[in-house]
Amino acid sequence: MKKVFSRRAFLTMGAATFSSTLWAEAPARSLRPVLRPAGGHQSARPQAPALEELIRESGLSGKVSVAVARQGSASVLEGHQAASGQPPASVTKVLTALYALHYLGPSHRFITSLVAVGDVSNGVLRGDLVLRGGGDPTLDTNGLADLARTLKAAGIREVKGQFLVWGGAMPSVRRIDKKQPDHAGYNPAVSGMALNYNRVHFEWKRAGSGYAVSMDARSDRYRPDVTMAQMKIANRQLPVYTYKSQGGRDQWTVASGALGKGGARWLPVREPEIYAGEVFRTLARAHGIVMKAPKKANGAPRGVVVARHQSADLRTILKGMLKYSTNLTAEMVGMAATQARGTPFTTLKTSAGAMNRWARDHLGMQDAALVDHSGLGEASRLRADEMALMLARAGQQAVLRPILKVIPLRDANGRVNKNHPIKVKAKTGTLHFVSALAGYATAADGGELAFAIFEADVSARNRLIGADRERPKGARSWNGRAKKLQQKLIERWSTVYGA
């Protein structure tokens, strides 16, 4: 059963009526918990540590910005450097989800199609076949296999003309963030055509005195080999990977000293149209359909649609995006929303700029300064007070709470405590020396709170260069302390402001 919302149903309060109280400054210092009367007597509720005390004891370098508000409130209960812009990392995806729902609607579906440009006679297409990307960020190998099966059912067994792939439904971007390592699977190319989140599976196994390597576009049902992404083993220790684009192909090398006994990882794809085209051609061949090697189409095809694949509805896509924090999904739905908004753009940054203006005009977030839709770009900034107050509004809660991920709290030994009395649904955000968490907490006594926590050591990030950007010294322990502080803050707020 699908629950359908109006595109603006979650915007139940206009920015004008909200702005009068939104900008009230958070307390300069945290509020100590006050014993509350119960039945004419003071309650025995335990006193929680002060906010500044928790932050100080965390030992975090850099800056911590936090804010908490009661559900439905338009003022901050408590904050620390709450008006200071901080890198939000993947918490950005919360705004992207609201932005996409506003302009596309929760029932929107993306369509990938096969277009025949020419006449079909006796099973032969005497013209071109075009695989037309429709901006579906979730298209996988199984979806292409369904398209190949439909093409066969349509009676086409041979394509005499060219086999083209069109990804021009969106601007083409070589990588989401230029500062990330070339081999980061979470930083692929973006265009209107995507397959397997624009990642290719690289696997290596011991074979005699060397290794056998494979590159494929596997799913749970298929494992088509890929030649547009190629891997060579180099006799070295570092760097682990090198990359270059040559002749429309992704050329990789990997250091033999890093391979060990065997393993696998997903690598980013920089030529998504050729990648999807090659995989589709392999799947079509399995059905006896003959076609040439794929080429990128220069313009949108005009012809007869002979097969189509439909994505899940947008609400389902966004729930998966928020759960697994898929950067490609965020960028593609964000750009689709900017297109639906009617704002011209050519880069992720200009599309994100349109989202910033929307957040200012519709959510009251005057200082939103995002450079992409996923949070991967470290130059993005959000304020904790603006984020917490936006989340506290009833309209946002009705839309966001059902699609946010459950964040389990832990016991004193660091183990997940499924029976913890505080329940949290939120979005995490993690980069090296950046940790963020924003969402909702239900206190033990049933009180409902909205919060935003942004922690960042920007100076430490700025010092990262080259190979240090993947596993920098000290980053793991820093992020661990950041997450412990997040739980302590939520527990404090539950104690002090729960009811």
CATH, residue 447: 3.40.710.10
124 and 163: one domain?
yes
Question: How confident is the model at residue 18, as a pLDDT?
Answer: 30
- Evaluate if pTM is beyond 0.75: yes
Give percent above pLDDT 90 in the chain: 85
How many structural domains compose the chain? 2
| Rounded CA separation 389/387 (Å) | 6
For residue 107 the two structure tokens come to 């029932």
Answer for the pair 279, 226: CB distance below 8 angstroms, yes or no: yes
157 and 199: one domain?
yes
Q: Which residues of 195-228 are buried (b: 16+ CB within 10 A; e: fewer)?
A: bbbbbbbbbbeeeeeebebebbbbbeebebebeb
Does residue 2 lie in a domain region? no
**Mean pLDDT, residues 296-321 taken together:** 97
291 and 368: one domain?
no
- Domain's final residue, options 311, 341, 357: 311
**Mean pLDDT, residues 96-125 taken together:** 97
87 and 147: one domain?
no
Give percent above pLDDT 70 in the chain: 90
DSSP state of 342: T
- Domain's final residue, options 311, 333, 364: 311
pLDDT digits (tens, 9 = 90+) for 241-267: 999 999 889 999 999 999 999 999 999
239 and 127: one domain?
yes
With a CB cutoff of 8 Å and minimum separation 6, the contacts of 20 are none
Does residue 8 lie in a domain region? no
Average pLDDT, the chain: 90
Q: What is the CATH number of the domain that holds 262?
A: 3.50.80.20
Question: How confident is the model at residue 310, as a pLDDT?
Answer: 98
Question: How confident is the model at residue 394, as a pLDDT?
Answer: 86
Domain of residue 70: give its range: 15-106+314-497
Long-range CB contact pairs, 249-257, < 8 A, 24+: 249/274, 250/200, 252/183, 252/202, 254/202, 254/204, 254/213, 256/211
pLDDT of 14 strictly over 90:
no
Question: How confident is the model at residue 33, as a pLDDT?
Answer: 40
pLDDT of 475 strictly over 60:
yes
DSSP state of 82: T
Question: How confident is the model at residue 463, as a pLDDT?
Answer: 86
**Mean pLDDT, residues 269-282 taken together:** 98
Distance between start and end Cα atoms, the chain: 34
Does residue 368 lie in a domain region? yes
114 and 257: one domain?
yes
Least reliable range by pLDDT among 288-297, 469-478, 479-488:
469-478
142 and 269: one domain?
yes
Could you write out the DSSP letters of every residue in 235-297?
Answer: S-SS-SEEEEEETTEEEEEEEGGG-TTEEEEEEE-S-HHHHHHHHHHHHHHTTT-B-PPEEE-
pLDDT digits (tens, 9 = 90+) for 188-220: 999 999 999 999 999 999 998 899 999 999 999
67 and 213: one domain?
no
| Rounded CA separation 422/477 (Å) | 25
pLDDT digits (tens, 9 = 90+) for 168-194: 999 999 999 998 999 999 999 999 999
179 and 299: one domain?
yes
**Mean pLDDT, residues 348-373 taken together:** 98
At position 308, the amino acid (one-letter code) is: R
φ, ψ of residue 371 in degrees (nearest 5): -105, -5
Nearest to 488 by CA among 409, 429, 423, 425: 409
Question: How confident is the model at residue 472, as a pLDDT?
Answer: 84
301 and 392: one domain?
no
352 and 237: one domain?
no
Greatest extent of the chain over all pairs of C-alpha atoms, in Å: 90
- Domain's final residue, options 252, 276, 311: 311
Question: How confident is the model at residue 469, as a pLDDT?
Answer: 67
| Rounded CA separation 134/141 (Å) | 16
462: confidence class by pLDDT, cuts 50, 70, 90: confident
46: confidence class by pLDDT, cuts 50, 70, 90: low
With a CB cutoff of 8 Å and minimum separation 6, the contacts of 407 are 424, 425, 426, 428, 437, 439
